[in-house]
Structure 1
Amino acid sequence: MTHLLWTILGYLAGSIPFGVLVTRALNLGDLRTIGSGNIGATNVLRTGNKTAALATLLLDGGKGAVAVLLARWFTGDDSAAQLAGLAAMAGHCFPIWLKFRGGKGVATFLGTMLALAWPIGLLCCATWLAAFYLSKISSVGAIAAVASVAPWTLVFGRTDLTITALLLTFIVLFRHRENIVRLHAGTEPKVGKKT
């Protein structure tokens, strides 16, 4: 029953569409009609407002971290924390409030991993930054980061997190399936260029 409760709470937390709320609060328009129509920080950046993009990044990451930390705090059970983090990811990517059309989950993934195991989370962040720096393509950073997480759980001996890491990876890759097609075709835009 406890696991079910934290799964529901994690999903509801993850479903909060901070990108839409931030852009609306700053009178930047309906984010779903801008750029790619995605509700994440990369698309918020296409409004030209870097502060809004940073706020969205932190809030989207924060909801994954908060879901994990609260579940761990109240239950003392790491499996409940993992379920809450997975549910927050699902909520972000498939939010009930937006007819299940959500973001791609990268910030929420990073926040979740930082809360579950901060050394692994930091390495995923570093992987994202390195891949993005080299490619200037947001999706390349995202794919590299999620591809690295399961191996990092093995390196750090956190095999208890490996299944969760693989599920998080699957969700992010599924949400990036169109980006992967464009990357293969060489048509994926770099950050700063219009889609």
Structure 2
Amino acid sequence: MYPELSSLMPWLLVIGAYLLGSISAAIITAKAMQLPDPRSTGSKNPGATNMLRIGGKKAAIITLLGDGLKGFIPVLIAHYVLGYSYEWQVLIGLAAFLGHLYPVFYGFEGGKGVATAIGVYLALNFPAAMMTIATWLVMARVFKYSSLAALTATLLAPLYFYLMTQNGWVFIGLLIMTAFIYYRHKSNIQNLLNGTEKKLGSR
């Protein structure tokens, strides 16, 4: 490989990850299944939870997998194919995550980022990712609130990953993702405090 291309490759992957993240699985799934645009229905969030409300389990699962793969694939390539350091993996994952939140193809108005973050987690470190997913599942089962489960799991994720990787860049990168997730969930946090947040499965 030419040295110039080799030095450019990580940055090209960062850009590619952002563009991949900018593709909305919810909007594409809604169009394919002839469902209402998730940006104008329900919670107006193009994500799996809203797709569950407007299209049922099949639409939600497709959206969840699509959004997760956007974070998983670029980091997987960086980690296992190209052997990049954790610093580059985190930067590439963050690019995919920000693409989902602020997609260039949809006027920079995207989803809340939880599924894409999970995809990044899985490619970064599988055991830590499973700890995060287990936290989500327990919280969702006990309290029945998707938002509360996501907020709890992503809050603990940086700690889980630091314990597994002992890498400060991973901790900081995931902490940044958590901060964005909390910002995008500010209305859910207010609803939780007010007791008006919708539970899983409610329409």
TM range (shorter): over 0.9
More displaced stretch, 159-168 vs 33-42: 159-168
The alpha-carbon deviation at position 35 of structure 1 amounts to 0.3
The alpha-carbon deviation at position 74 of structure 1 amounts to 4.9
Q: Secondary structure at the match of 2:54?
A: coil
State which of 50, 57, 69 in structure 2 corresponds to 1:62. Answer: 69
Q: How does 1:40-119 map to 2 (within 5 A)?
A: 40-78=47-85, 79-119=87-127
Structure 1 residue 155 and structure 2 residue 163: aligned? Answer: yes
Cross-structure match for 1:10: 17
Given that 2:35 and 2:55 are in contact with CA atoms closer than 8 Å, whether structure 1 keeps it comes out as: no
Given that 1:93 and 1:101 are in contact with CA atoms closer than 8 Å, whether structure 2 keeps it comes out as: yes
Separation in 2, partners of 1:155, 1:49 = 37
Q: How does 1:113-128 map to 2 (within 5 A)?
A: 113-128=121-136
Separation in 1, partners of 2:53, 2:148 = 18
State which of 43, 55, 70 in structure 2 corresponds to 1:36. Answer: 43
Given that 1:6 and 1:80 are in contact with CA atoms closer than 8 Å, whether structure 2 keeps it comes out as: no
Normalized against structure 1, the TM-score is what?
Answer: 0.94
Cross-structure match for 2:180: 171
More displaced stretch, 54-63 vs 153-162: 153-162
Q: Secondary structure at the match of 1:46?
A: helix
Going from structure 1 to structure 2, the CA distance change for 1:116 and 1:157 (only over 3 Å counts) comes to closer
Q: Secondary structure at the match of 1:63?
A: helix
Larger Rg: 2
What residue ranges of structure 1 are gaps of 5+ in the alignment?
Answer: none
The alpha-carbon deviation at position 46 of structure 1 amounts to 1.1
The alpha-carbon deviation at position 157 of structure 1 amounts to 4.2
Separation in 2, partners of 1:67, 1:176 = 25
Separation in 2, partners of 1:154, 1:68 = 17
Given that 2:47 and 2:63 are in contact with CA atoms closer than 8 Å, whether structure 1 keeps it comes out as: yes
Q: Secondary structure at the match of 2:77?
A: helix
Normalized against structure 2, the TM-score is what?
Answer: 0.90
Q: Secondary structure at the match of 1:32?
A: coil
Separation in 2, partners of 1:48, 1:120 = 31
Separation in 2, partners of 1:77, 1:144 = 29
For 2:101, the aligned partner's letter is C
The alpha-carbon deviation at position 168 of structure 1 amounts to 1.4
Separation in 1, partners of 2:41, 2:48 = 12
Separation in 2, partners of 1:189, 1:4 = 40
Deviations 1:108-129 (A, max 9, x none): 1111001000111111100011
Separation in 1, partners of 2:76, 2:165 = 21
Q: Count the aligned residue pairs.
A: 194
Identity %: 40
Given that 2:38 and 2:45 are in contact with CA atoms closer than 8 Å, whether structure 1 keeps it comes out as: yes
Separation in 2, partners of 1:31, 1:152 = 32
What residue ranges of structure 2 are gaps of 5+ in the alignment?
Answer: 1-7
Q: CA RMSD in A?
A: 1.4
